Structure 1
Amino acid sequence: MTVRGTLLVTGGSKGIGAAVARAAAEAGWAVAVNYASDEDGALKVVAAVEAAGGTAVALPGDVSVEGDVVRLFDAAEAVLGGPVTALVNNAGIVGAHGRFDDLDSVALRRTVDVNVVGAMLCAREAVRRMSTRRGGPGGLIVNISSRAAQLGSAGEWVHYAATKAAVDALTLGLAHEVAAEGIRVNAVAPGLIETGLHAGAGQPNRLAEKANSIPMGRAGTAEEVAEAVMWLLSDASAFTTGAVLPVHGGR
């Protein structure tokens, strides 16, 4: 298989990130699967990629820590043998479930640090390496946003929704800033998706309870979100930048 380039997927050990890593490897990308704490999950993704004939490596790092981000890009390039030419900014947390006025400052800051600061640090590092203005080869950035950015998630995750609105603004502004430097920046905004996120946040029945609010009558899958990401990583979307692609079944 001809390698298309090196792709870094943050938060790639489970859910949407894992589905993107598998799909990207199948499409010919050498994939760096980042994880913060779930090493076993990341290694399973790598094993699945390698079993299918692809190339992948699991790399640790907290995206909210600048030094970790720089080391992550350096390691991806060193191990996979080429510059990172695509980034999927997927790492994120929902934080505590409930009313906004019950949220403590520690949980609030951590959600912002991972979802906003982390996405910005990774995007900044990607631009520094990809931009033709800096001597780079160009590249692709796909941010993982959320339908929550438009719905607001009242009574559940207002703080999370706010961080994803920030990701949308980052996508648009950065896309305009680097469009002439060989970099396309887009986002995918999933709705209710079948992953372990809801159970991990203490809401294992949330998808079933919300199914009636989805016009298509069901939750989506991580693989369906990955297909949208892969379109944005492909030449088929060559004239698309600054877009936030909804994948939410009409909700």
Structure 2
Amino acid sequence: MTAGTVVVTGGSRGIGAAVARLLGEQGRDVCLSYREDAAAARAAVAGVTAAGARAIAVRADMSSPEDIERLFRTADAELGPLTGLVNNVGVLERQCRVVDLDADRLHRILTTNVAGYFLCARQAVLRMSTARGGAGGAIVNVSSAAARLGSPGEYVDYAASKGAVDTFTTGLALEVADEGIRVNAVRPGFIRTGIHADGGDPGRVERLARNLPMRRGGEPEEVAEAVVWLLSGRSSYVTGSFIDLAGGK
């Protein structure tokens, strides 16, 4: 079993919280970030500690370089050496067409969903790279089926940000493959999480489920299984790869 600390961004709810719980069950310490909901973050921490691992929650905005640096410094100080990063945090806004987007919205989406992933990965590589004295590790980027499907009429900006995450995953995987770091991504779609309510469509998964090959939406725990496998030694020869979790879509 892989030991060490894993940073999970956006770990207070949905996929992030499910990942944190499963890591705790496998004995891995977790530092999760959250932006606003302290109660949800405390519940996520409790889920990890109940399984016998250590966990902390750090309030940090993934659009802020200063907050990102503080997140990783806190993980260092309170939990110890980093061996994994789950770039999970993601934001979207209310459904609209491209013609109705504005520059401020694009800036908010791309800063968190793209720049935030880059900056978190940078902090992880600085700590884990064998070329820099680290012991190696794994990074898992949470992309989306939207990167393949485009989300027309809904969230083309969000889909484009996840397309950037896919390209970033490939490039970083090749860049650090000989430094003991594996980089992979999962592409969930139609998962029952609160992000759909953020977009103004809380019933989106149920509405679209009948059009999926599997005729159902997915659960955060199903995504977490793939993420934790990619973080583990069981996937030791896997890098630059993508796992689609969208019911066959």
Query: Retained in 2: the 8 A contact 1:9–1:90?
Result: yes
**Structure 1: gaps spanning 5 or more residues:** none
Residue 83 (1) aligns with residue 81 (2): yes
**Structure 2: gaps spanning 5 or more residues:** none
- Taking a change above 3 Å as real, the CA distance of residues 147 and 3 of structure 1, as seen in their structure-2 partners, is closer
Residue 200 (1) aligns with residue 198 (2): yes
After superposition, the C-alpha distances for 1:144-169 in whole angstroms (9 at most, x for unaligned) are 00000000000000000000000000
SS at match of 1:119: helix
What one-letter code is carried by the residue in structure 2 that aligns with 1:14? R
CA distance in 1: counterparts of 2:37 and 2:104, whole angstroms: 22
After superposition, the C-alpha distances for 1:210-248 in whole angstroms (9 at most, x for unaligned) are 112210010000000000001101111111000111111
2:136 to 135, 138, 141: 138
The CA RMSD over aligned residues, in Å, is: 1.2
> Which residue number in structure 1 is paired with residue 111 of structure 2?
113
- Taking a change above 3 Å as real, the CA distance of residues 220 and 245 of structure 1, as seen in their structure-2 partners, is same
What one-letter code is carried by the residue in structure 1 that aligns with 2:38? E
What one-letter code is carried by the residue in structure 2 that aligns with 1:77? D
CA distance in 2: counterparts of 1:238 and 1:51, whole angstroms: 28
Query: Retained in 1: the 8 A contact 2:94–2:198?
Result: no
- Aligned residues between the structures: 249
> Which residue number in structure 2 is paired with residue 169 of structure 1?
167
Task: Please report how far the alpha carbon of residue 105 of structure 1 lies from its aligned counterpart in structure 2 after TM superposition.
Answer: 1.5
SS at match of 2:56: strand
1:103 to 101, 116, 131: 101
Residue 25 (1) aligns with residue 24 (2): yes
> Which residue number in structure 2 is paired with residue 52 of structure 1?
51
What one-letter code is carried by the residue in structure 2 that aligns with 1:91? V
> Which residue number in structure 1 is paired with residue 67 of structure 2?
68
TM-score where L is the length of structure 2: 0.97
| Segment drifting more, 2-11 vs 193-202 | 2-11
SS at match of 2:210: helix
Task: Please report how far the alpha carbon of residue 8 of structure 1 lies from its aligned counterpart in structure 2 after TM superposition.
Answer: 0.3
What one-letter code is carried by the residue in structure 2 that aligns with 1:55? R
Identity rate, percent:
55
CA distance in 2: counterparts of 1:190 and 1:52, whole angstroms: 25
> Which residue number in structure 2 is paired with residue 6 of structure 1?
5
Task: Please report how far the alpha carbon of residue 61 of structure 1 lies from its aligned counterpart in structure 2 after TM superposition.
Answer: 0.9
CA distance in 2: counterparts of 1:87 and 1:3, whole angstroms: 13
What one-letter code is carried by the residue in structure 2 that aligns with 1:210? L
SS at match of 1:213: coil
SS at match of 2:89: coil
> Which residue number in structure 2 is paired with residue 185 of structure 1?
183
* Structure 1 residues 116-127: aligned runs within 5 Å: 116-127=114-125
CA distance in 1: counterparts of 2:87 and 2:211, whole angstroms: 28
1:242 to 233, 240, 243: 240
What one-letter code is carried by the residue in structure 2 that aligns with 1:23? L
What one-letter code is carried by the residue in structure 2 that aligns with 1:38? D
What one-letter code is carried by the residue in structure 2 that aligns with 1:46? V
After superposition, the C-alpha distances for 1:134-153 in whole angstroms (9 at most, x for unaligned) are 11111110000000000000
CA distance in 1: counterparts of 2:152 and 2:97, whole angstroms: 7
